Structure 1
Amino acid sequence: MAAGEPGASSPRGSLARSTDDRLLDATGEVLARVGWSQVTMAAVAAAADVSRQTLYKRFGSRAELAQAYVLREADRLVVVVESAIAQRADDPRAAIAAAFDVFLGAAAEHPLVRAIVGDRDGSAGGDELLELVTIRGRSVLDTAAHHLAAILRDTWPALTPSAADLAAEIAVRLAISTAALPDGPAALNGGRLAEGLAPYLERELGTTLRS
């Protein structure tokens, strides 16, 4: 929420968020049909059935729109991961494996990820999105890792904040790199990825993780 914008509980604040969600939904709809290079402010405004003036008022530029869209979708994927972990809280090994699996499954169908991985030569703008996520969008990685660390601490209170932060950072980077390279080994699924975190979590939780 921008500085000076109405608070979360105010009607105007709720309306602004509703408008933003509508515009970001429209961004995803356009991206699902065309490459990112063709996702123009005019196309998004048309898909949302609003004026370009309204779109520019909420997001001052195409770059700002892109970052807002990436951040929101990252948050939504984290919610999916949180559910997978919560359902298997008594088995950390299975929880982490399921979290990777549900993330990779959701990412495979997501227009953002498909736009990045489906554009091999960068001509459709996929490179621009990938750079936003991995370089200019450092805040995207930070936000996802921060949210995941909080989930890990809530699920397993025995984890220290530093241990949860490190595990979350590793998990986010593994998940994103695997989603962005779908042509990798077929066996590189949630279970295999979880093996990389299992020894660390085993030590920090003081329990034997199931194989």
Structure 2
Amino acid sequence: MSTDDRLLNATGRILAEVGWAQVTMAAVASAADVSRQTLYKRFGSRGELAEAYVLRESGRLVAVVDGAIAARADDPRAAITAAFDVFLAAAAEHPLVRAIVGEGEGADELLELFTIRGRSVLDAAADHLATRLRTTWPALSRDAADIAAEIAVRLAISVAALPDGPAHLNGARLADAMVPFLERELAANPQ
């Protein structure tokens, strides 16, 4: 396991136990069994550590979505429904998402990484998802895949960030909003 992975894993463990306000550079270095100098050399600041952790974990959540889509490539509605369902289920249990939607101290700092400074997280997730959509359905144009991915990522994050919202906003209902667009785009470019 790389030093970066050890440090990011330690960040996640501390976050799950005590919340973001208690995730200090000293605590992370200690939990990863490295010096603070090593931690600062790898990530520079607590903010950079947070951004690296958020990017890695959002990538892991997107990978879960990837598998759901790939497993149902023959049925776009089932694929998109499953993608939303697995994302929302994984997000509900993930320490990062729980810290963001919680009212604990430090949640605003993490939320800012998805909102005010969140372009890198959104871009990475949307780019990955757009690639998955084009790989799964080659008839989908680049533009249509990019639009669908951007909308799906923003929609999924919004629903995950407000877990006490309407219960009917599940994978099937979210897919109802997206699938007609995908089906129209796929029908326009049959292969």
SS of aligned partner of 1:206: helix
**Could you tell me which amino acid in structure 2 is paired with residue 22 of structure 1?**
R
Structure-1 residue corresponding to 2:41: 57
Percent identity between the aligned chains? 78
Post-superposition offset of 1:137: 2.4
Deviations 1:140-198 (A, max 9, x none): 00110000000000000010000000000000000000000000011110000011101
Post-superposition offset of 1:134: 1.7
Deviations 1:63-110 (A, max 9, x none): 000000000001111111010001100000010000000001000110
**Could you tell me which amino acid in structure 2 is paired with residue 105 of structure 1?**
A
Post-superposition offset of 1:34: 1.1
Please list every run of at least 4 consecutive aligned residues from structure 1 whose deviation after the TM superposition is greater than 2 angstroms.
Answer: none
Match of 1:150 among 127, 131, 140: 131
Structure-1 residue corresponding to 2:182: 201
After TM superposition, list the pairs within 5 Å mapping 1:25-36 onto structure 2.
25-36=9-20
Match of 2:171 among 168, 187, 190: 190
**CA–CA distance in structure 2, aligned partners of residues 136 and 188 of structure 1:** 26
Indicate conservation of the 8 Å contact 1:134/1:141, yes or no: no
User: Which runs of no fewer than 5 residues in structure 2 stay unpaired?
Assistant: none
- Matching of residue 87 in structure 1 with residue 71 in structure 2: yes
Higher RCO by CA contacts (8 Å cutoff, separation 6 or greater)? 2
Deviations 1:189-208 (A, max 9, x none): 0000011101101100119x
**CA–CA distance in structure 2, aligned partners of residues 80 and 129 of structure 1:** 22
SS of aligned partner of 1:136: coil
Indicate conservation of the 8 Å contact 1:146/1:165, yes or no: yes
**CA–CA distance in structure 2, aligned partners of residues 189 and 137 of structure 1:** 24
Indicate conservation of the 8 Å contact 1:67/1:137, yes or no: no
TM-score (normalised: structure 1): 0.87
After TM superposition, list the pairs within 5 Å mapping 1:117-136 onto structure 2.
117-119=101-103, 123-136=104-117
Number of aligned residues: 188
**CA–CA distance in structure 2, aligned partners of residues 40 and 159 of structure 1:** 45
